[in-house]
Structure 1
Amino acid sequence: MRHFGHLGVDVRRRLFLVEPAAFDRHAPAATLATALGATLYLPATRGTLVSDVRRQAARGVTSMVLCLEDAIADGEVTAAEANLVDGLRALAEPVGAAGPGPVGLPLLFVRVRVPEQIGVLVGRLGTAARLLSGFVLPKFTEENGARYLDAVADAELACGQRMFAMPVLESPELAHLEHRRLELLGIAALLAKYRDRVLAVRLGVTDLCAAYGLRRSPESTAYDLALVAGVIGDVVNVLGRADGSGFTVTGPVWEYFPLGRSGAELTGLLREIALDRVNGLLGKTCVHPSQVPAVHASLVVGHEEYCDARDVLGSAAERGGGVVGSAYANKMNEVKPHRAWAERVLGRAELFGVARAGVGFAELFAACRDAEVRGGR
């Protein structure tokens, strides 16, 4: 896989100073956590599940979640499980040169409802379980978390390959102030025991809003809701630290679609993506394919950002600290305080690329949309 690999070679050369690097599902966990990008959720009830997965892979989607939880009704679970098993078995079969086989698929995860569902699904999938990179664990709490994580570990043993967990923090225990501190500290201690198993921590803002009967509008962001913003800040405070104890924390779902071509229709999403970034979040949960190009275009490292990060790390290797001037002559780069930031920027640059000077979001987004039009999608 390669972000923006669906764009033509000439287009990529025009847009990128440094093109995104290729990766696969066997890459180190830190690489995959950064590479998740726009994680597209797909209800497991979809009758076109197989073609949907292949089509989205061809459009540049590199991570998908097949959802058995809130995306489907309670009465649809049995049928959704059967459809998911049949679909993954079909995807496991190689196809001809006209389309991608298993190698051309995105990172695939299943969002389950209860821990016991993990083992049942792996057993039913048989060898097709090898297509999965792991499981998304909803309503994750200190109380139920060990059962979920043990189930993922058992699944790994059963299918003989690495399986990751992505806990979703969305329970009332986190929304309610009187429980939040102890709940977060308990989750942090639990995840530390399973560190090699946890790929990223996801935020379930829709459920957090539900605890207070709230919903953000298309013009507002999760950070405009003071109650939700407080939870996000506390989650990053405890679980997103840059001292080696933290995890990648992904941005919350954006509920509104479809996105057209006008800038006005992108305003809310882009504001939230920008606030995700400055608040320490990376990647985003998406519920519609039209959201993916916007998220990925926003993750490309800008030329100025790249120059500053590279200068900070270069100076860090040569000197014990101090200040270095920005190549753009508009800011102060402090070697020690900015080092962790610079490392994260260059990690993102490796997987999402570096834009040429003068190339910004608009050009990157337009190239992705033009590729869709030319592909007839």
Structure 2
Amino acid sequence: MRHFDHLTDDARRRLFWRAPEPFSRESPRETLAVALGATLYMPATRPRLAHDLARRASQGVASSVVCLEDSIADDELPAAQANAIAQLRELAQAGGGPLTFVRVRTPDQIPQVVDGLGEHAHVLSGFVLPKFSESTGAAFLDALDDTAATHGLHLWAMPVIESPEMIHRETRGDQLLAVRALLDKHRASVLAVRTGATDLSGVYGIRRGRDLSIYDVRLVAEVLTDVVNILGRADGSGFVVTGPVWEYYGGNERLFKPRLRQAPFQASDAEDLRASLITQDLDGLIREVVLDAANGLTGKTVIHPSHVPVVHALSVVTHEEYVDASDVLGRDAGAAASAYRNKMNESRPHRAWAERVLTRAAVFGVAEPDVGFVDLLGAGDDW
């Protein structure tokens, strides 16, 4: 699969200075974790789940999670699990879809799902492990590794940091250090670390509004900072940490002014696109994705298809970023002015940043010098 393959060849040639490269579930972990992009969650109760996954893949969705956890009522769980297995078998028989993970509740569901899929288990990329902590994590990871070995598969794990121990100040540090040690033992199986802002907020009876970013909710923002600090280090010991869910879609009454400047949309003759983004409350998502990147998070959990093109357009590397990153990696030491003549590039402090930029450039491409976010977003058929 390849990002932006849903666009026409002419559109890709016009937008990209360097086109996105193909990837698959067999790609190196560092590549695949970044390629997840906007990971679309769907409840396992959807009656046409296989059809929906295939359709969304054709529209640019590269990764998805079939949820058997919080989105499913307790009395619906057996039927939801049976439906997930049946639908994923159907998806495999139809040729597959996006990278697909199942979010389970308990470790014993991992072998149950894989056993149920049988010869079609290859359709599954792995499992999302909820409420991950020192006390729960080992059982999930052991179940995943044992199941993978039994069936001759490689299954990726994506643990979610969202339990009360992670937001309570007196336990968070020790818990994250213990989780880091646990994940390091299973490093070959861990694709990325996800963050559960909804559950973390719920511990204190908080739900952030559509006019706010998660970084305005200080209790949760502090957790995200610590997760990146301990689990997302760029020294080879860390993992890709993904951005938390944006849970709003559809228009509603607004308290604050829109956050999107008019000038970039006017320059691209895209005022209607700006109005559509504001109507759907996607200006808040845009701001949060930018803040995610600034705080060391990559990709995002989303719950509506309209979120996907926003996240992916913001994931494309700008020509300026690419030139600066290449310059940094091309020198052993010292500093030099950017070719864009607006900043200094220093080889040592900017090296890890530059390496990450080039990884993102491989999977999301590099935009033409005169192409920006508005052009990338407006090129699709989603608006």
TM-score range, shorter chain: over 0.9
**Equivalent in 223, 238, 254 of residue 246 of structure 2:** 254
Q: Which residue does the alignment assign to 1:162?
A: 154
1:6 aligned partner, one-letter code: H
Matched, 1:204 2:220: no
SS at match of 2:40: strand
Q: Which residue does the alignment assign to 1:92?
A: 92
**Equivalent in 354, 359, 363 of residue 371 of structure 2:** 359
Give the distance between the partners of 1:254 and 1:325, measured in 2 at CA: 37
**Equivalent in 165, 177, 181 of residue 173 of structure 2:** 181
**Equivalent in 115, 120, 123 of residue 128 of structure 1:** 120
Give the distance between the partners of 2:105 and 2:250, measured in 1 at CA: 27
The alignment's C-alpha RMSD in Å is 1.2
Equivalent pair of 1:2/1:22 in contact (CA under 8 Å): yes
Q: Which residue does the alignment assign to 2:261?
A: none
SS at match of 2:191: coil
Give the distance between the partners of 1:359 and 1:194, measured in 2 at CA: 41
How far does the alpha carbon of each residue in 1:315-334 deviate from its partner, in whole angstroms, 9 at most, with x for none? 23xxxx11011011111111
SS at match of 1:306: helix
How far does the alpha carbon of each residue in 1:223-273 deviate from its partner, in whole angstroms, 9 at most, with x for none? 011111100000000000000000000000000014794242322101110
Q: Which residue does the alignment assign to 1:286?
A: 302
Q: Which residue does the alignment assign to 1:80?
A: 80
How far does the alpha carbon of each residue in 1:81-104 deviate from its partner, in whole angstroms, 9 at most, with x for none? 11111111111214xxxxxx13xx
1:269 aligned partner, one-letter code: L
Q: Which residue does the alignment assign to 2:237?
A: 245
Give the distance between the partners of 1:348 and 1:124, measured in 2 at CA: 35
Matched, 1:51 2:63: no
Matched, 1:307 2:323: yes
How far does the alpha carbon of each residue in 1:332-361 deviate from its partner, in whole angstroms, 9 at most, with x for none? 111100000000001000000001112111
Equivalent pair of 1:219/1:267 in contact (CA under 8 Å): no
2:106 aligned partner, one-letter code: V
Q: Which residue does the alignment assign to 1:69?
A: 69
How far does the alpha carbon of each residue in 1:59-99 deviate from its partner, in whole angstroms, 9 at most, with x for none? 010101010001111111011011111111111214xxxxx
Shift of 1:158: 2.4
SS at match of 2:72: coil
Give the distance between the partners of 2:345 and 2:4, measured in 1 at CA: 30
Give the distance between the partners of 2:349 and 2:74, measured in 1 at CA: 49
Equivalent pair of 1:250/1:282 in contact (CA under 8 Å): yes
Shift of 1:159: 2.1
Count of residues in Structure 1 that have an aligned counterpart in Structure 2: 359
Matched, 1:327 2:339: yes
Give the distance between the partners of 2:112 and 2:203, measured in 1 at CA: 31
Equivalent pair of 2:197/2:244 in contact (CA under 8 Å): yes
SS at match of 1:155: helix
Q: Which residue does the alignment assign to 1:220?
A: 212
Q: Which residue does the alignment assign to 1:98?
A: none
* TM-score of the two chains, using structure 2 as the length reference: 0.92
How far does the alpha carbon of each residue in 1:176-199 deviate from its partner, in whole angstroms, 9 at most, with x for none? 000001000000010010011100
Instruction: Among all aligned residue pairs of Structure 1 and Structure 2, give the percentage whose two residues are the same amino acid.
Output: 58
Matched, 1:25 2:8: no
Equivalent pair of 2:51/2:91 in contact (CA under 8 Å): no
User: Where in structure 2 are there 5+ consecutive unaligned residues?
Assistant: 252-271
